Amino acid sequence: GAGVSQTPSNKVTEKGKYVELRCDPISGHTALYWYRQSLGQGPEFLIYFQGTGAADDSGLPNDRFFAVRPEGSVSTLKIQRTERGDSAVYLCASSPTGSETQYFGPGTRLLVL
Amino acid sequence: GENVEQHPSTLSVQEGDSAVIKCTYSDSASNYFPWYKQELGKGPQLIIDIRSNVGEKKDQRIAVTLNKTAKHFSLHITETQPEDSAVYFCAASRDSNYQLIWGAGTKLIIKP
């Protein structure tokens, strides 16, 4: 079946602009995660959704970052007033109910100029 | 909070030899330990995982061992092949939030 998909695959923006990154989880998966991966490092947790609600958003670095999952499926990560330090690969993962196994998408490579 | 350390950062082995990557964790409440393989330009792919009630798990050429007392776990790849070349990450999580805490990664190079 289809895996986790993320769009766009690449995004180049200018400092100060607003960006939205989209994640389509595996169909039926109730849990959805966002991570950020800088070059040469392991992914860093941002936020975890169980259904429509954010169960844990402790990894969001500041209030410029926000994520939604209004219907419990597709999720959008929103970054306001982007900064050069936001440049990274943003990864999305999903899990079925009751499972800790996370399946990752290919990521969105964000470059802030 | 949890901290996961991974060694070595780079590992070069001859094709056909074995490779071992080691991780340590700090949070004794962590109970789930997956290993992911990441190829250039792609997302991480789960290759094997282990829960804290199990000491060892094997899947063909790949095995993971866990020592809860010492808080370390290792990935073992036998009979390495060129397609095993990638970056490997260990991670740890606990049941309360499933948040994965990751090691820094090991770049595995298989020499022909």
Answer yes or no: is pLDDT of B96 > 70.
Answer: no
**Residue among B30, B27, B36 nearest A101 (CA):** B36
pLDDT in the model for residue A1: 58
Q: Tokens standing for B21?
A: 């990557």
Q: Tokens standing for A1?
A: 């079946």
Q: How many CA atoms lie within 13 A of A30 on its CB side?
A: 10
Number of other CB atoms surrounding residue A85 within 10 Å: 10
Q: Tokens standing for A63?
A: 């209030």
pLDDT in the model for residue A100: 84
Q: Is the minimum CB–CB distance between B10 and chain A shorter than 8 Å? A: no
pLDDT in the model for residue B5: 97
**Residue among A26, A27, A21, A6 nearest A107 (CA):** A6
Higher pLDDT among residues B99 and A15, named by residue: A15
Residues near A80 by beta carbon (within 8 Å), at least 6 away in sequence: A18, A64, A65, A66
Q: Do B99 and A56 touch (CB under 8 A)?
A: yes
Peptide bond into B8 cis (omega under 30): yes
Q: Is the minimum CB–CB distance between B97 and chain A shorter than 8 Å? A: yes
Average pLDDT over residues B62-72: 95
Chain B residues near residue A44 by CB distance under 8 angstroms: 102
pLDDT in the model for residue B1: 81
Chain A residues near residue B34 by CB distance under 8 angstroms: 100-102
Task: Answer yes or no: are the C-beta atoms of B101 and B93 closer than 8 Å.
Answer: yes
Phi, psi of A25 (to 5 degrees): -75, 175
**Which residues of A make CB contacts under 8 Å with B?**
4, 31, 33, 35, 40-45, 48, 55-56, 58-59, 91, 95, 100-107
Size of chain B in residues = 112
Cα separation, B15 vs B106, whole angstroms? 17
- CA B65, distance to chain mean position in Å, is 10
Given B32, B98, B104, which is nearest A42 (Cβ)?
B104
Number of other CB atoms surrounding residue A42 within 10 Å: 22
Cα separation, B33 vs A27, whole angstroms? 25
Number of other CB atoms surrounding residue B86 within 10 Å: 21
Going residue by residue through chain A (113 aa), what tens digit of pLDDT does each one get?
A: 589 999 999 999 999 999 999 999 999 999 999 999 999 899 999 999 999 998 899 999 999 999 999 999 999 999 999 999 999 999 999 999 888 889 999 999 999 99
Please, which pLDDT band fits residue B105 given cuts at 50, 70 and 90? Answer: very high
Nearest CA in chain B to A59: B99
Cα separation, B59 vs B89, whole angstroms? 17
Chain A residues near residue B97 by CB distance under 8 angstroms: 48, 55-56
pLDDT in the model for residue A55: 86
